Structure 1
Amino acid sequence: MNPDQPGLVTRPVFYVSDGTGITAETIGHSLLTQFTGFRFQTDRISFVDDEEKARDAADRIRRAGVALGARPIVVNSCVDPALSGVLAESGALMLDVFAPFIEPLERELGTPRQSRVGQAHGLVDFETYHRRINAMNFALTHDDGIALEYEEADVILVAVSRAGKTPTCVYLALHYGIRAANYPLTDQDLETDRLPPRLRAYRRKLFGLTIDPDRLHQIRQERRPNSRYAQLDTCKREVASAEAMFQVERIPTLSTTNKSIEEISSKVLSTLGLQREMF
Protein backbone atom coordinates (compact mmCIF):
# COMPACT_ATOMS: atom_id res chain seq x y z
CA MET A 1 0.00 0.00 0.00
CA ASN A 2 2.15 2.83 -1.24
CA PRO A 3 0.07 6.04 -1.15
CA ASP A 4 2.52 7.75 -3.50
CA GLN A 5 2.18 5.18 -6.27
CA PRO A 6 0.11 6.60 -9.17
CA GLY A 7 -2.87 4.80 -10.65
CA LEU A 8 -4.08 3.20 -7.43
CA VAL A 9 -7.80 2.88 -6.71
CA THR A 10 -8.81 4.88 -3.62
CA ARG A 11 -11.14 3.26 -1.08
CA PRO A 12 -12.38 5.02 2.07
CA VAL A 13 -11.87 2.98 5.24
CA PHE A 14 -13.30 3.81 8.67
CA TYR A 15 -12.37 2.28 12.02
CA VAL A 16 -15.44 2.72 14.22
CA SER A 17 -15.72 1.90 17.90
CA ASP A 18 -17.66 2.67 21.08
CA GLY A 19 -14.22 3.05 22.68
CA THR A 20 -10.92 4.38 21.43
CA GLY A 21 -10.95 2.40 18.18
CA ILE A 22 -7.40 1.15 18.65
CA THR A 23 -8.50 -2.50 18.41
CA ALA A 24 -10.46 -1.90 15.20
CA GLU A 25 -7.62 0.10 13.69
CA THR A 26 -4.97 -2.49 14.57
CA ILE A 27 -6.98 -5.36 13.10
CA GLY A 28 -8.08 -3.32 10.11
CA HIS A 29 -4.55 -2.23 9.28
CA SER A 30 -3.36 -5.84 9.42
CA LEU A 31 -6.11 -6.83 7.00
CA LEU A 32 -5.50 -4.00 4.54
CA THR A 33 -1.78 -4.71 4.27
CA GLN A 34 -2.73 -7.99 2.57
CA PHE A 35 -4.05 -6.11 -0.46
CA THR A 36 -2.06 -4.21 -3.08
CA GLY A 37 -3.27 -2.03 -5.93
CA PHE A 38 -5.34 0.24 -3.68
CA ARG A 39 -4.90 3.52 -1.86
CA PHE A 40 -6.76 3.20 1.44
CA GLN A 41 -7.90 6.54 2.86
CA THR A 42 -8.36 5.70 6.53
CA ASP A 43 -10.10 7.50 9.38
CA ARG A 44 -10.95 6.55 12.96
CA ILE A 45 -14.31 7.41 14.58
CA SER A 46 -14.11 6.81 18.32
CA PHE A 47 -16.65 6.70 21.17
CA VAL A 48 -19.70 5.94 19.03
CA ASP A 49 -21.72 4.88 22.08
CA ASP A 50 -25.28 6.01 21.31
CA GLU A 51 -27.65 6.09 18.35
CA GLU A 52 -27.18 9.79 17.61
CA LYS A 53 -23.41 9.37 17.32
CA ALA A 54 -23.92 6.27 15.19
CA ARG A 55 -26.14 8.20 12.77
CA ASP A 56 -23.59 11.00 12.57
CA ALA A 57 -20.89 8.43 11.86
CA ALA A 58 -23.02 6.72 9.20
CA ASP A 59 -23.62 10.07 7.49
CA ARG A 60 -19.91 10.85 7.54
CA ILE A 61 -19.10 7.44 6.08
CA ARG A 62 -21.77 7.80 3.39
CA ARG A 63 -20.48 11.23 2.35
CA ALA A 64 -16.93 9.91 2.06
CA GLY A 65 -18.12 7.19 -0.27
CA VAL A 66 -19.93 9.69 -2.47
CA ALA A 67 -16.94 12.04 -2.56
CA LEU A 68 -14.54 9.28 -3.61
CA GLY A 69 -17.01 7.40 -5.78
CA ALA A 70 -16.28 4.13 -3.99
CA ARG A 71 -18.08 2.02 -1.41
CA PRO A 72 -16.61 2.64 2.06
CA ILE A 73 -15.21 -0.13 4.23
CA VAL A 74 -16.00 -0.07 7.96
CA VAL A 75 -14.03 -2.08 10.50
CA ASN A 76 -16.40 -2.01 13.44
CA SER A 77 -15.79 -2.87 17.10
CA CYS A 78 -19.06 -1.50 18.56
CA VAL A 79 -20.49 -4.17 20.85
CA ASP A 80 -24.15 -3.09 20.56
CA PRO A 81 -25.77 -4.72 17.48
CA ALA A 82 -28.24 -1.83 17.30
CA LEU A 83 -25.42 0.67 16.79
CA SER A 84 -23.85 -1.61 14.20
CA GLY A 85 -27.19 -1.69 12.40
CA VAL A 86 -27.30 2.10 12.24
CA LEU A 87 -23.74 2.19 10.88
CA ALA A 88 -24.71 -0.35 8.21
CA GLU A 89 -27.27 2.12 6.87
CA SER A 90 -24.30 4.00 5.41
CA GLY A 91 -24.15 1.33 2.71
CA ALA A 92 -20.57 0.47 3.61
CA LEU A 93 -19.05 -2.98 3.69
CA MET A 94 -19.27 -3.83 7.39
CA LEU A 95 -16.49 -5.89 8.96
CA ASP A 96 -17.44 -6.65 12.57
CA VAL A 97 -14.38 -7.36 14.68
CA PHE A 98 -16.33 -9.49 17.20
CA ALA A 99 -18.76 -11.33 14.89
CA PRO A 100 -16.56 -14.35 14.03
CA PHE A 101 -15.99 -15.11 17.71
CA ILE A 102 -19.29 -14.39 19.49
CA GLU A 103 -21.33 -17.38 18.30
CA PRO A 104 -18.60 -19.99 19.01
CA LEU A 105 -18.09 -18.48 22.48
CA GLU A 106 -21.84 -18.49 23.17
CA ARG A 107 -22.00 -22.17 22.24
CA GLU A 108 -18.94 -23.04 24.30
CA LEU A 109 -20.01 -21.07 27.39
CA GLY A 110 -23.68 -21.96 27.07
CA THR A 111 -24.87 -18.39 27.49
CA PRO A 112 -25.59 -15.43 25.19
CA ARG A 113 -23.40 -12.36 25.29
CA GLN A 114 -24.51 -9.22 27.11
CA SER A 115 -24.14 -6.47 24.50
CA ARG A 116 -23.64 -3.45 26.73
CA VAL A 117 -21.64 -0.49 25.47
CA GLY A 118 -18.37 0.02 27.31
CA GLN A 119 -18.50 -3.35 29.03
CA ALA A 120 -15.30 -4.48 27.33
CA HIS A 121 -13.46 -1.71 29.12
CA GLY A 122 -14.64 -3.08 32.46
CA LEU A 123 -12.02 -5.80 32.11
CA VAL A 124 -9.24 -3.28 32.63
CA ASP A 125 -6.81 -4.12 35.42
CA PHE A 126 -5.96 -0.70 36.84
CA GLU A 127 -2.55 -1.84 38.06
CA THR A 128 -1.77 -2.94 34.52
CA TYR A 129 -3.23 0.28 33.13
CA HIS A 130 -0.98 2.42 35.29
CA ARG A 131 2.00 0.30 34.28
CA ARG A 132 1.19 1.08 30.66
CA ILE A 133 0.97 4.82 31.39
CA ASN A 134 4.26 4.75 33.28
CA ALA A 135 5.86 2.89 30.37
CA MET A 136 4.58 5.56 27.98
CA ASN A 137 6.06 8.32 30.14
CA PHE A 138 9.34 6.40 30.23
CA ALA A 139 9.39 6.08 26.42
CA LEU A 140 8.80 9.81 25.98
CA THR A 141 11.46 10.90 28.49
CA HIS A 142 13.99 8.46 27.02
CA ASP A 143 13.29 9.24 23.38
CA ASP A 144 16.23 9.93 21.05
CA GLY A 145 18.77 10.03 23.86
CA ILE A 146 16.96 12.75 25.85
CA ALA A 147 17.63 10.82 29.07
CA LEU A 148 20.36 8.22 29.36
CA GLU A 149 19.48 6.55 32.67
CA TYR A 150 18.68 3.08 31.39
CA GLU A 151 18.68 1.06 34.62
CA GLU A 152 14.87 0.74 34.54
CA ALA A 153 14.62 0.13 30.79
CA ASP A 154 13.31 -3.21 29.55
CA VAL A 155 14.77 -2.61 26.10
CA ILE A 156 16.92 0.00 24.38
CA LEU A 157 16.45 0.35 20.63
CA VAL A 158 19.61 1.48 18.85
CA ALA A 159 19.63 2.83 15.29
CA VAL A 160 20.48 5.72 13.04
CA SER A 161 18.02 8.60 12.86
CA ARG A 162 14.60 7.87 11.28
CA ALA A 163 14.90 4.09 11.30
CA GLY A 164 11.72 3.57 13.33
CA LYS A 165 12.91 3.75 16.94
CA THR A 166 10.35 6.16 18.39
CA PRO A 167 7.09 4.66 17.02
CA THR A 168 8.24 1.20 18.08
CA CYS A 169 8.99 2.40 21.62
CA VAL A 170 5.58 4.05 21.86
CA TYR A 171 3.83 0.92 20.58
CA LEU A 172 5.69 -1.31 23.06
CA ALA A 173 4.69 1.02 25.89
CA LEU A 174 1.03 1.43 24.96
CA HIS A 175 0.30 -2.19 24.06
CA TYR A 176 2.63 -4.17 26.30
CA GLY A 177 3.66 -1.89 29.16
CA ILE A 178 7.29 -2.27 28.11
CA ARG A 179 9.70 0.44 29.26
CA ALA A 180 11.44 1.09 25.96
CA ALA A 181 14.18 3.67 25.46
CA ASN A 182 15.92 4.51 22.23
CA TYR A 183 19.40 5.70 21.42
CA PRO A 184 20.22 7.49 18.14
CA LEU A 185 23.63 6.66 16.69
CA THR A 186 25.47 9.89 15.89
CA ASP A 187 28.38 10.51 13.52
CA GLN A 188 30.72 10.28 16.50
CA ASP A 189 29.26 6.92 17.56
CA LEU A 190 29.68 5.59 14.02
CA GLU A 191 33.38 6.41 13.81
CA THR A 192 34.17 2.96 15.21
CA ASP A 193 32.49 -0.44 15.09
CA ARG A 194 32.24 -0.63 18.88
CA LEU A 195 29.30 0.25 21.09
CA PRO A 196 29.17 3.79 22.45
CA PRO A 197 30.56 3.73 26.03
CA ARG A 198 27.23 4.77 27.58
CA LEU A 199 25.53 1.66 26.16
CA ARG A 200 28.05 -1.00 27.12
CA ALA A 201 26.65 -1.62 30.58
CA TYR A 202 23.23 -2.38 29.08
CA ARG A 203 24.29 -4.81 26.34
CA ARG A 204 21.61 -7.38 27.26
CA LYS A 205 18.89 -4.79 26.76
CA LEU A 206 20.01 -3.64 23.32
CA PHE A 207 18.21 -4.31 20.05
CA GLY A 208 19.41 -2.83 16.78
CA LEU A 209 17.17 -1.52 14.02
CA THR A 210 18.42 -1.05 10.49
CA ILE A 211 16.78 0.08 7.26
CA ASP A 212 17.38 0.09 3.52
CA PRO A 213 19.40 3.24 2.68
CA ASP A 214 17.12 4.15 -0.24
CA ARG A 215 14.08 4.06 2.02
CA LEU A 216 15.94 6.05 4.70
CA HIS A 217 16.82 8.62 2.05
CA GLN A 218 13.12 9.02 1.17
CA ILE A 219 12.10 9.45 4.81
CA ARG A 220 14.82 11.98 5.58
CA GLN A 221 14.17 13.86 2.36
CA GLU A 222 10.60 14.47 3.55
CA ARG A 223 11.89 15.77 6.88
CA ARG A 224 14.85 17.86 5.69
CA PRO A 225 14.76 18.18 1.89
CA ASN A 226 18.09 18.36 0.06
CA SER A 227 20.12 18.45 3.28
CA ARG A 228 23.37 16.60 3.88
CA TYR A 229 21.43 14.60 6.48
CA ALA A 230 19.09 13.34 3.75
CA GLN A 231 21.68 12.62 1.04
CA LEU A 232 21.72 9.04 -0.18
CA ASP A 233 25.48 8.76 0.38
CA THR A 234 25.01 9.83 4.00
CA CYS A 235 22.27 7.25 4.48
CA LYS A 236 24.37 4.48 2.95
CA ARG A 237 27.38 5.34 5.10
CA GLU A 238 25.41 5.53 8.35
CA VAL A 239 23.49 2.31 7.75
CA ALA A 240 26.66 0.40 6.80
CA SER A 241 28.49 1.65 9.89
CA ALA A 242 25.59 0.81 12.20
CA GLU A 243 25.21 -2.70 10.75
CA ALA A 244 28.94 -3.29 11.13
CA MET A 245 28.70 -2.26 14.80
CA PHE A 246 25.74 -4.57 15.44
CA GLN A 247 27.59 -7.48 13.83
CA VAL A 248 30.85 -6.93 15.73
CA GLU A 249 29.04 -6.47 19.04
CA ARG A 250 26.59 -9.32 18.32
CA ILE A 251 23.54 -7.14 18.88
CA PRO A 252 20.26 -8.69 17.64
CA THR A 253 19.08 -6.70 14.63
CA LEU A 254 16.03 -6.33 12.43
CA SER A 255 15.46 -4.35 9.24
CA THR A 256 12.41 -2.10 9.51
CA THR A 257 12.21 -1.45 5.76
CA ASN A 258 9.20 -3.65 5.02
CA LYS A 259 8.02 -4.34 8.56
CA SER A 260 5.02 -2.93 10.40
CA ILE A 261 5.39 -1.61 13.95
CA GLU A 262 3.48 -4.66 15.15
CA GLU A 263 5.99 -7.00 13.48
CA ILE A 264 8.99 -5.07 14.78
CA SER A 265 7.62 -5.06 18.33
CA SER A 266 6.85 -8.77 18.23
CA LYS A 267 10.40 -9.55 17.10
CA VAL A 268 11.90 -7.36 19.84
CA LEU A 269 9.78 -9.06 22.51
CA SER A 270 10.53 -12.60 21.36
CA THR A 271 14.26 -12.02 20.82
CA LEU A 272 14.86 -10.43 24.23
CA GLY A 273 12.46 -12.78 26.01
CA LEU A 274 10.27 -9.98 27.35
CA GLN A 275 6.90 -10.87 28.82
CA ARG A 276 3.94 -9.67 26.82
CA GLU A 277 0.93 -8.10 28.45
CA MET A 278 -1.40 -7.17 25.65
CA PHE A 279 -3.93 -4.49 26.61
Structure 2
Amino acid sequence: MKPPLIDRGDRPLAYRSAYFVSDSTGITAETLGNALLSNFPGFTFAKHTIPFVDTAEGAAAVVRDIDADAQSGLSPILFTTTKDPAVKRTLGAASATVIDLLSGHLTELEAALETTASEQLGRYHALGDATQYFARMRAVEYAIEHDDGQSSRALDIADVVIIAPSRCGKTPTTMYLALQYGLLVANYPLTDDDFPTDELPSMVASYAGRCFGITTTPLRLSQVRHERRPDSRYASLAQCSLELRRAEDLYRRNRVPFLNSSTKSVEEMSAVILQTLKLRA
Protein backbone atom coordinates (compact mmCIF):
# COMPACT_ATOMS: atom_id res chain seq x y z
CA MET A 1 0.00 0.00 0.00
CA LYS A 2 1.33 3.41 -0.92
CA PRO A 3 1.95 5.45 2.25
CA PRO A 4 0.41 8.90 2.55
CA LEU A 5 2.45 11.93 1.57
CA ILE A 6 3.79 13.93 4.48
CA ASP A 7 3.97 17.68 4.12
CA ARG A 8 7.52 18.97 4.42
CA GLY A 9 7.37 22.73 4.16
CA ASP A 10 6.71 23.83 0.61
CA ARG A 11 7.29 20.41 -0.97
CA PRO A 12 6.02 16.89 -0.27
CA LEU A 13 8.21 14.07 0.91
CA ALA A 14 8.48 11.72 -2.06
CA TYR A 15 8.00 7.97 -1.80
CA ARG A 16 9.68 5.40 -4.01
CA SER A 17 10.02 1.64 -3.87
CA ALA A 18 13.58 0.26 -3.69
CA TYR A 19 14.46 -3.38 -4.29
CA PHE A 20 17.79 -5.00 -3.38
CA VAL A 21 18.00 -8.27 -5.31
CA SER A 22 20.87 -10.73 -5.04
CA ASP A 23 21.78 -14.30 -5.95
CA SER A 24 23.35 -14.59 -2.47
CA THR A 25 22.58 -13.02 0.92
CA GLY A 26 21.67 -9.57 -0.40
CA ILE A 27 24.08 -7.83 1.96
CA THR A 28 26.20 -6.33 -0.81
CA ALA A 29 23.19 -5.06 -2.78
CA GLU A 30 21.62 -3.65 0.38
CA THR A 31 24.80 -1.96 1.62
CA LEU A 32 25.76 -0.37 -1.69
CA GLY A 33 22.18 0.51 -2.59
CA ASN A 34 21.52 2.16 0.77
CA ALA A 35 24.78 4.10 0.48
CA LEU A 36 23.53 5.56 -2.80
CA LEU A 37 20.00 6.24 -1.53
CA SER A 38 21.33 8.07 1.53
CA ASN A 39 22.36 10.90 -0.79
CA PHE A 40 18.70 11.73 -1.42
CA PRO A 41 17.24 12.77 1.96
CA GLY A 42 14.18 14.26 0.30
CA PHE A 43 12.82 10.78 -0.41
CA THR A 44 11.42 8.01 1.74
CA PHE A 45 11.94 4.54 0.28
CA ALA A 46 9.82 1.44 0.77
CA LYS A 47 12.69 -1.06 0.84
CA HIS A 48 12.62 -4.75 -0.05
CA THR A 49 15.65 -7.05 0.20
CA ILE A 50 15.25 -10.27 -1.80
CA PRO A 51 18.16 -12.73 -1.47
CA PHE A 52 18.98 -15.99 -3.28
CA VAL A 53 17.41 -15.08 -6.62
CA ASP A 54 19.50 -17.46 -8.71
CA THR A 55 17.04 -18.66 -11.38
CA ALA A 56 15.10 -16.95 -14.12
CA GLU A 57 11.88 -18.23 -12.53
CA GLY A 58 12.76 -16.63 -9.22
CA ALA A 59 13.66 -13.41 -10.98
CA ALA A 60 10.32 -13.44 -12.81
CA ALA A 61 8.49 -13.61 -9.48
CA VAL A 62 10.43 -10.57 -8.28
CA VAL A 63 9.61 -8.72 -11.49
CA ARG A 64 5.89 -9.33 -10.93
CA ASP A 65 6.13 -7.65 -7.51
CA ILE A 66 8.12 -4.75 -8.95
CA ASP A 67 5.65 -4.27 -11.79
CA ALA A 68 2.79 -4.20 -9.29
CA ASP A 69 4.57 -1.46 -7.36
CA ALA A 70 5.11 0.46 -10.59
CA GLN A 71 1.39 0.31 -11.34
CA SER A 72 0.61 1.67 -7.86
CA GLY A 73 2.79 4.70 -8.53
CA LEU A 74 5.83 3.93 -6.38
CA SER A 75 8.26 4.15 -9.37
CA PRO A 76 10.60 1.32 -8.28
CA ILE A 77 14.37 1.38 -8.27
CA LEU A 78 16.05 -2.03 -8.54
CA PHE A 79 19.57 -2.58 -7.23
CA THR A 80 20.99 -5.93 -8.24
CA THR A 81 24.18 -7.93 -7.71
CA THR A 82 23.11 -11.02 -9.65
CA LYS A 83 25.58 -12.66 -12.06
CA ASP A 84 23.66 -15.24 -14.07
CA PRO A 85 22.90 -13.78 -17.54
CA ALA A 86 19.37 -15.21 -17.66
CA VAL A 87 18.55 -13.77 -14.24
CA LYS A 88 19.96 -10.39 -15.24
CA ARG A 89 17.94 -10.35 -18.47
CA THR A 90 14.74 -11.17 -16.60
CA LEU A 91 15.32 -8.47 -14.00
CA GLY A 92 16.22 -6.02 -16.74
CA ALA A 93 12.68 -6.27 -18.09
CA ALA A 94 11.14 -4.99 -14.84
CA SER A 95 9.21 -1.72 -14.83
CA ALA A 96 11.92 -0.09 -12.79
CA THR A 97 15.16 1.84 -12.95
CA VAL A 98 17.63 -1.06 -12.87
CA ILE A 99 21.03 -0.41 -11.32
CA ASP A 100 23.53 -3.25 -11.72
CA LEU A 101 25.95 -2.59 -8.88
CA LEU A 102 28.68 -4.92 -10.12
CA SER A 103 28.77 -5.18 -13.90
CA GLY A 104 30.81 -2.10 -14.72
CA HIS A 105 33.27 -2.70 -11.90
CA LEU A 106 33.70 -6.37 -12.80
CA THR A 107 34.48 -5.38 -16.38
CA GLU A 108 37.11 -2.92 -15.19
CA LEU A 109 38.67 -5.54 -12.92
CA GLU A 110 38.67 -8.15 -15.67
CA ALA A 111 40.59 -5.73 -17.88
CA ALA A 112 43.04 -4.84 -15.10
CA LEU A 113 43.65 -8.46 -14.09
CA GLU A 114 43.52 -9.78 -17.66
CA THR A 115 41.14 -12.60 -16.76
CA THR A 116 37.40 -13.21 -16.49
CA ALA A 117 35.45 -13.11 -13.24
CA SER A 118 34.27 -16.35 -11.67
CA GLU A 119 30.70 -17.30 -12.49
CA GLN A 120 30.24 -19.05 -9.15
CA LEU A 121 27.32 -17.56 -7.22
CA GLY A 122 27.70 -16.07 -3.78
CA ARG A 123 31.39 -15.26 -4.06
CA TYR A 124 30.88 -11.90 -2.36
CA HIS A 125 30.12 -13.59 0.94
CA ALA A 126 32.19 -16.74 0.72
CA LEU A 127 34.17 -17.87 3.75
CA GLY A 128 37.31 -16.25 2.39
CA ASP A 129 40.17 -16.08 4.87
CA ALA A 130 39.29 -18.75 7.45
CA THR A 131 41.48 -17.09 10.08
CA GLN A 132 39.56 -13.82 9.78
CA TYR A 133 36.24 -15.62 9.74
CA PHE A 134 36.90 -17.49 12.97
CA ALA A 135 38.32 -14.34 14.55
CA ARG A 136 34.99 -12.62 13.91
CA MET A 137 33.08 -15.56 15.37
CA ARG A 138 35.28 -15.46 18.48
CA ALA A 139 34.70 -11.72 18.73
CA VAL A 140 30.92 -12.21 18.60
CA GLU A 141 31.11 -14.80 21.39
CA TYR A 142 33.23 -12.39 23.43
CA ALA A 143 30.74 -9.57 22.84
CA ILE A 144 27.82 -11.73 23.98
CA GLU A 145 29.66 -12.81 27.15
CA HIS A 146 30.63 -9.23 28.00
CA ASP A 147 27.37 -7.50 27.07
CA ASP A 148 25.97 -5.09 29.66
CA GLY A 149 28.73 -5.79 32.18
CA GLN A 150 27.77 -9.45 32.58
CA SER A 151 31.35 -10.68 32.91
CA SER A 152 34.73 -9.33 33.94
CA ARG A 153 36.55 -12.40 32.64
CA ALA A 154 39.33 -11.62 30.15
CA LEU A 155 38.62 -7.89 30.09
CA ASP A 156 42.37 -7.43 29.85
CA ILE A 157 42.29 -8.60 26.21
CA ALA A 158 39.43 -6.31 25.15
CA ASP A 159 40.19 -3.99 22.26
CA VAL A 160 37.40 -1.62 23.31
CA VAL A 161 35.25 -1.17 26.41
CA ILE A 162 32.13 0.84 25.60
CA ILE A 163 30.50 2.58 28.56
CA ALA A 164 27.19 4.42 28.58
CA PRO A 165 23.86 4.73 30.37
CA SER A 166 21.26 2.13 29.48
CA ARG A 167 19.74 2.31 25.96
CA CYS A 168 22.31 4.65 24.43
CA GLY A 169 23.40 2.14 21.77
CA LYS A 170 26.14 0.11 23.47
CA THR A 171 25.08 -3.35 22.32
CA PRO A 172 24.47 -2.65 18.58
CA THR A 173 27.82 -0.86 18.34
CA THR A 174 29.57 -3.68 20.20
CA MET A 175 28.13 -6.34 17.92
CA TYR A 176 28.91 -4.38 14.76
CA LEU A 177 32.57 -3.94 15.75
CA ALA A 178 32.81 -7.63 16.59
CA LEU A 179 31.13 -8.98 13.48
CA GLN A 180 32.48 -6.49 10.98
CA TYR A 181 36.05 -6.12 12.26
CA GLY A 182 36.66 -9.07 14.58
CA LEU A 183 37.41 -6.75 17.53
CA LEU A 184 37.02 -7.94 21.12
CA VAL A 185 34.52 -5.48 22.56
CA ALA A 186 32.94 -5.37 26.00
CA ASN A 187 30.32 -2.91 27.16
CA TYR A 188 29.36 -1.68 30.60
CA PRO A 189 26.15 0.12 31.68
CA LEU A 190 26.50 3.19 33.86
CA THR A 191 23.89 2.97 36.62
CA ASP A 192 23.04 4.86 39.81
CA ASP A 193 25.45 2.58 41.70
CA ASP A 194 28.37 4.04 39.72
CA PHE A 195 27.77 7.57 41.05
CA PRO A 196 28.60 9.99 42.64
CA THR A 197 32.21 8.71 42.50
CA ASP A 198 34.60 10.66 40.29
CA GLU A 199 36.34 7.53 39.09
CA LEU A 200 35.38 5.01 36.43
CA PRO A 201 33.48 1.94 37.70
CA SER A 202 35.89 -0.53 39.34
CA MET A 203 35.22 -3.23 36.72
CA VAL A 204 36.56 -1.08 33.90
CA ALA A 205 38.82 1.41 35.71
CA SER A 206 41.98 -0.56 34.89
CA TYR A 207 41.18 -0.30 31.18
CA ALA A 208 40.54 3.45 30.94
CA GLY A 209 42.77 3.73 27.88
CA ARG A 210 40.48 1.36 25.99
CA CYS A 211 37.21 2.91 27.13
CA PHE A 212 34.90 4.82 24.83
CA GLY A 213 31.74 6.55 26.02
CA ILE A 214 28.39 7.02 24.34
CA THR A 215 25.82 9.67 25.10
CA THR A 216 22.63 10.88 23.42
CA THR A 217 19.98 13.55 23.93
CA PRO A 218 17.64 13.33 26.94
CA LEU A 219 14.57 13.40 24.71
CA ARG A 220 15.83 10.61 22.47
CA LEU A 221 16.83 8.48 25.46
CA SER A 222 13.46 9.03 27.09
CA GLN A 223 11.65 7.97 23.91
CA VAL A 224 13.70 4.77 23.61
CA ARG A 225 13.24 3.89 27.27
CA HIS A 226 9.49 4.51 27.10
CA GLU A 227 9.31 1.70 24.53
CA ARG A 228 10.84 -0.62 27.09
CA ARG A 229 9.24 0.65 30.32
CA PRO A 230 6.38 3.06 29.58
CA ASP A 231 5.65 5.81 32.11
CA SER A 232 8.44 4.73 34.46
CA ARG A 233 10.97 6.82 36.39
CA TYR A 234 13.61 5.02 34.32
CA ALA A 235 12.13 6.57 31.16
CA SER A 236 11.33 10.02 32.56
CA LEU A 237 12.96 13.01 30.93
CA ALA A 238 14.34 14.16 34.29
CA GLN A 239 16.04 10.82 34.96
CA CYS A 240 17.46 10.63 31.44
CA SER A 241 18.82 14.16 31.71
CA LEU A 242 20.45 13.37 35.05
CA GLU A 243 22.08 10.14 33.83
CA LEU A 244 23.44 11.71 30.68
CA ARG A 245 24.83 14.72 32.52
CA ARG A 246 26.58 12.50 35.07
CA ALA A 247 27.92 10.22 32.33
CA GLU A 248 29.38 13.08 30.30
CA ASP A 249 30.98 14.55 33.43
CA LEU A 250 32.50 11.14 34.14
CA TYR A 251 33.89 10.87 30.61
CA ARG A 252 35.48 14.31 30.81
CA ARG A 253 37.01 13.79 34.26
CA ASN A 254 38.61 10.53 33.17
CA ARG A 255 39.54 11.69 29.67
CA VAL A 256 37.36 9.05 28.05
CA PRO A 257 36.50 9.98 24.45
CA PHE A 258 32.79 9.90 23.70
CA LEU A 259 30.22 10.69 21.03
CA ASN A 260 26.53 11.45 20.78
CA SER A 261 24.62 8.56 19.20
CA SER A 262 21.36 10.44 18.56
CA THR A 263 22.20 11.39 14.98
CA LYS A 264 24.71 8.71 14.03
CA SER A 265 24.31 5.24 12.56
CA VAL A 266 26.07 2.23 14.05
CA GLU A 267 28.47 2.31 11.11
CA GLU A 268 29.36 5.95 11.75
CA MET A 269 29.81 5.38 15.46
CA SER A 270 32.06 2.40 14.81
CA ALA A 271 34.18 4.41 12.39
CA VAL A 272 34.67 7.15 15.00
CA ILE A 273 35.66 4.59 17.65
CA LEU A 274 38.16 2.94 15.31
CA GLN A 275 39.72 6.27 14.39
CA THR A 276 39.78 7.69 17.92
CA LEU A 277 41.29 4.61 19.56
CA LYS A 278 43.58 4.02 16.55
CA LEU A 279 42.35 0.48 16.01
CA ARG A 280 42.88 -1.47 12.83
CA ALA A 281 39.93 -1.59 10.45
RMSD: 2.3
Q: Which runs of 5 or more residues in structure 2 are unaligned?
A: 8-12
Q: Which residue of structure 1 aligns with residue 94 of structure 2? A: 90
User: Cα 1:215–1:6, aligned 2, differ >3 Å: closer, same or farther?
Assistant: farther
TM-score, with structure 2 as normaliser = 0.88
Work out the percentage of aligned pairs sharing the same amino acid: 42
Structure-to-structure mapping, 1:168-247, within 5 angstroms: 168-247=173-252
User: Cα 1:214–1:177, aligned 2, differ >3 Å: closer, same or farther?
Assistant: same
Measure, in 1, the Cα distance between the counterparts of 2:199 and 2:244. Answer: 14
Q: Is structure 2 residue 22 aligned with structure 1 residue 17?
A: yes
Q: Which residue of structure 2 aligns with residue 134 of structure 1? A: 138
C-alpha distance after superposition, 1:14-54 (max 9, x if no partner): 22222212222222222222222322222221122222222
Structure-to-structure mapping, 1:56-71, within 5 angstroms: 56-67=61-72, 69-71=73-75
Q: Which residue of structure 2 aligns with residue 154 of structure 1? A: 159
Task: Work out the number of aligned pairs and report it.
Answer: 273
User: Cα 1:204–1:71, aligned 2, differ >3 Å: closer, same or farther?
Assistant: same
TM-score, with structure 1 as normaliser = 0.88
1:193–1:242 Cα contact (<8 Å) kept: no
What amino acid is aligned across from residue 220 of structure 2 in structure 1? Answer: R
Give 1:154 deviation, angstroms.
1.6
What amino acid is aligned across from residue 187 of structure 1 in structure 2? Answer: D
Measure, in 2, the Cα distance between the counterparts of 1:166 and 1:66. Answer: 41
Q: Is structure 2 residue 275 aligned with structure 1 residue 270?
A: yes
Q: Is structure 2 residue 264 aligned with structure 1 residue 259?
A: yes
User: Cα 1:66–1:233, aligned 2, differ >3 Å: closer, same or farther?
Assistant: farther
> SS in structure 2 opposite 1:10?
strand
Whose radius of gyration is greater, 1 or 2? 2
User: Cα 1:160–1:115, aligned 2, differ >3 Å: closer, same or farther?
Assistant: same
What amino acid is aligned across from residue 200 of structure 1 in structure 2? Answer: A
Give 1:66 deviation, angstroms.
4.1
Q: Which runs of 5 or more residues in structure 1 are unaligned?
A: none
